[in-house]
Amino acid sequence: MDFQNLKLGDDSYPNMTLGMHVEDNDNKERATVRVFCPDAKEVMVVNKNNQRAYPLPSLGEGIFYGSLGKCKNKFPYYLRFIGHNNTTWEGEDPYAFSDPVDKNVLKTFRDEEYIYSADILGSRLIQIDDVNGCIFRVFAPNAKRVSVIGDFNNWDGRRHMLTKLSDSGIFSIFVPNLTANDLYQYEIKTHNNELLYKADPYAKHFGDKPKKHSLPYDPFSYVWNDFDYLKSTENVNNRNKPINIYEVHIGSWRFDNNGNALSYMELANQLVNYVRDMNYTHVEFIGILEHPFDGSWGYQVTGFFAPTSRYGTPDEFKHLVDCFHQNGIGVILDWVPGHFPKDAFGLEFFDGTKLYEREGEHPEWGTLLFDYYKREVKNFLLSSAYMWLNEFHIDGLRVDAVASMLYGGNLSNTHPDMTAATFLQELNKMVRHIFPFKLMIAEDSSTWGGVTVPVEYGGLGFDFKWDLGFMHDTLNFMKTEYDYRGEALNKMTFSFNYMYNEHYLLPISHDEVVHCKSPLIYKMCGDFWQKFANVRALFALMYTHPGKKLLFMGSEIGQTQEWIEKNQLTWDLLKYPEHQGLQRYCRDLNYLYKTTPALYHDENIGETFDWINGDNKESLVVSYIRRTFEEEIIVVVNFSLHPHMGYNIGVAKSGTYREIFNSDKAEYCGSGVVNLNDIESMPDSCQYKDNRIVLDIPPLGATILKKID
C-alpha cells in the first residue's frame, strides 16, 4: 500500500487508510490498524473489552501498520504509545469513530434553503461511543486536504486530517478528549499545494487577539432564566409598541478602575441597571460579532457565529442577554451580511477558491462581497441570523449597509443586485415564519421602495427602516443660525412628508459623532445654554415624531468629545448641572414615550398623526397631534430663541388640556417657562382646527399636553 499521500498530508479520505479495517491477508480476513504518529517509536492497539495489547510494526516515518493477531472482526480499542524519549501515553484513535451526521442533511446544505448549518458545521463538543471529544466539520469543497491543528497535535497538519463526506464538500473528524479550552485552526491544502491557515467560519468562540484561532463550544451549556420575558414578547404588534433603543459599543461605554473595558459579567450589572433606569426599552450592540480589528468597530466580521471574546465567553454573553431580559429590556445586534474583510485567516479564498466571495471588492471599504448567488453562502448567512435569534435569544437584528448590498457597494449603480434583494427576502421570510415577534431593522440609505413591505407583496420584508434622512436633515437644521432657521425650517419638517412611505426608525447613531463630525452637543447652534436647550428640543421632536427611536450612548449626557472606540464615555461630565439635567431629561422623556400609547402607535400614521402647524417661519413653532382612540396628545416645539407667551394653538377636540412634559423645566437646566395650570379650550377656529388653547411656549423648547377631559 502506498502511504505517500498520508506522509505528505495530501489525503482527502484518510479514514480509508487510517484506523481499523478488516482486510484479506493470505486469503484470510484479519482486523488491521494503521496509525500515523511521528512522535512515537512504538504503538500498541489495546482491546477495550479484554485489555489485550497488539504491537503494530513500524513502517518508518511515523507510520505503524499490522494485523491484530487472528482477530477477524473489529472491536473497540485505544492506542498506547512509547515516544522516542521512552515516555508513554495512551489515547483514542480519531479514525476509530464514524461521523454520526445525517447524510441527507449534507446534500440539503448545498441544494436547498437550510438555516441549521451551525448545527452541523463548526466544532461541537459531543460524545461518540461513550468517548468525549469534539467533532469538526468544515465546508471546503475545492480543498485537496483539510486538517485541524492545535497544541493537541503540535500544530502538525498530518496528524488530524479530515475526511471528505461523499460529494457534500464537507470534511469531518472526531478528535477524542478535546475540551472547550483547546485552540484550533484549519490547515487547508489547495490543489496548488498552498497551505492556508483558517479560522473556523462556523466557530462560536474565538481565542484572544488576533482572533484567528477558534475554540470548541457546547451550545447547551448555558441555562436560561428569561422564560417570562420571552413569553411576554409573543403576540405583540411591534409597530404599535414602544421601541426606544440605546445604541452601545460596549468596549467604550465604561472602563473599570484599571482602565479596561467592562466584561460581559460586569456589564450584566452596570449596563443593565443603567439602561433600565434610563427607561430604554431596548439596547443595540455594535461590535459583538467577532472581528480582528478594533478600529472596524465590529463591522468587518470574521466570526459570524461568535460573540467577541474581548469581553468574555459565549456563555457570559448569554448571561448578559439573560439579565437584560429579566429586566424587561430587549437586545438587538448589529449584523453585517454585506461584506467581510480580507484577513488571510478569514473567509477570503477559503479553500483556495472564491468560496464565499464574488469577483471584485467593495469600492469604498476594500472588503469582499458575499456571493448571494450561491446557495451555501446564503445558507451560511441565514444560519448565522437564525442562531443569534434562537440560541442567543437575541430580540432583533439591525442589518447593516442594506443599500450597499442592494447596489453592490456602489450607490451610483443603476442596476441593483437582485441576488442580494432575493437573499434579504429569504432572510425576512425565515424570521417572520420562525420568529414572528422579533425585529428586523434595515440600515438603508437607498431609495429602494418597499423595504418594510411584506415579501408576499413584493417588498424586502423588514419591520423598520432607519430614517437616515431624518438624522441628517434635522441635524443640519439644528446647526443653522437662528436668523436663518425660518428658511431652513423645511429641513426639520421634511421627514414628516414621507413618513407614510415606510415604517421608520429615527436614529441619532454613532455614525454622526465620529470622524471629525463632532459630538452631538457641538452640532447645536448657539452658546452653552442654547446648545443644551437645542438638544432637548430636538429630542422632544424626535420622541413625538412617528417612528421608533435610537440614541447612541453619550448623547444622553451631552458628551463633549467625539466617539473614539479606544476611550470610554466622559462620565465625569455628570458633575456639571447641565449634563446632569440632560441625562435626567432623557430619562424622563424615555418614560413619557414608553408610557404614552399615542406616541408609539405607528402602524397607521394617517390615523395617529395630525398637523397643527409646521410651516410658521416667523415663530419657528412646530405643532402637531398624536392620538389613539383613548388619547389626544398635543406637541408644541419652539426652535427660536424667544419664548412665546400666550400663544394660540389649534386643537381638534374641546376640553381640558394639561401639560405633561416640558423641556424647559429648571430641573433640566431650562429657563422655567412652563404651564402649571390646566388649560381649557375655546370654541374658536385656529390653524384649521375647531378649537384653540392658549399657552406659554419656552424658548428652544417643547411643551407636551394631554387632553384630560
- Provide the strand spans (E) within 140-254: 145-149, 163-164, 170-176, 185-189, 195-198, 244-248
Adjacent-strand bridge partners of 172: 137, 163
User: Helix, strand, coil shares of the chain as percentages rounded to 5?
Assistant: 30, 25, 45
Any alpha helices (H) in 494-641, and if so which ranges? 495-498, 528-544, 577-594, 605-608
- Amino acid present at 674: V
Amino acid at the residue 492? M
User: Which residues, at least 6 apart from 553, have a Cβ–Cβ distance to it below 8 Å?
Assistant: 246, 247, 248, 249, 253, 569
> How far, in Å, are 64, 89, 430, 704 from residue 386 at the CA level?
45, 43, 8, 41
Retrieve residue 563's grid coordinates.
466617539
Query: What is the distance between the alpha carbons of residues 224 and 318, in angstroms, rounded to a whole number?
Result: 8
Tell me the HSE value of 613 on the side-chain side, using a 13 A CA sphere: 21
Q: How far apart are alpha carbons 384 and 6 in whole angstroms?
A: 35
Q: Which residue has the cell 464537507?
A: 170
Q: Which of 223, 346, 349, 236 minimizes the C-alpha distance to 282? A: 236
CA distance 329 to 242: 11
Given strand 145-149, what is the order of strands in its sheet? 145-149, 185-189, 195-198
Which residues on neighbouring strands pair with residue 333, listed in sequence order? Answer: 285, 397
Question: Could you give the residue ranges of the DSSP H alpha helices within 42-133?
Answer: 103-111, 117-120
> Please, are residues 550 and 505 in contact by the beta-carbon 8 Å criterion?
yes
Nearest CA-CA partner of 548 in 622, 466, 471, 612: 466
Q: How many residues does the chain have?
A: 709
Q: Report the alpha-carbon distance of residue 129 to residue 350 in Å, rounded.
A: 32
What one-letter code names the amino acid at 404? S
- How many of the other CB atoms lie within 10 Å of CB of 261? 19
Q: Look at residue 521 and give its three-state secondary structure.
A: helix
Among candidate residues 400, 426, 444, 659, the one labeled active-site is 400
Q: Is the distance from CB of 71 to CB of 17 less than 8 angstroms?
A: no
Asked if 48 contacts 85 with a C-beta cutoff of 8 angstroms, the reply is no
Could you confirm whether 343 is annotated as catalytic? no
Helix axes 314-326, 264-277, angle to 10 degrees: 20
Cell of residue 139, nine digits: 465546508
Question: What are phi and psi for residue 296, nearest 5 degrees?
Answer: -85, -10
Smallest CA-to-CA distance from 95 within 178, 162, 40 is with: 162
Distances (CA, A) of 56 to 39, 43, 279, 403: 15, 6, 70, 62
Among 116, 123, 129, smallest CA distance to 162 is for 123
357 is catalytic: no
Asked if residues 58 and 65 have their Cβ atoms less than 8 Å apart, the reply is: no
Cell numbers representing residue 76 in the block: 473497540
Note whether 362 and 315 are within 8 A (CB): no
Which residue is it, cell 453585517?
Answer: 336
C-alpha span between 112 and 521 (Å, rounded)? 51
Q: Which of 284, 343, 443, 467 is catalytic?
A: 443
Catalytic site residues? 400, 443
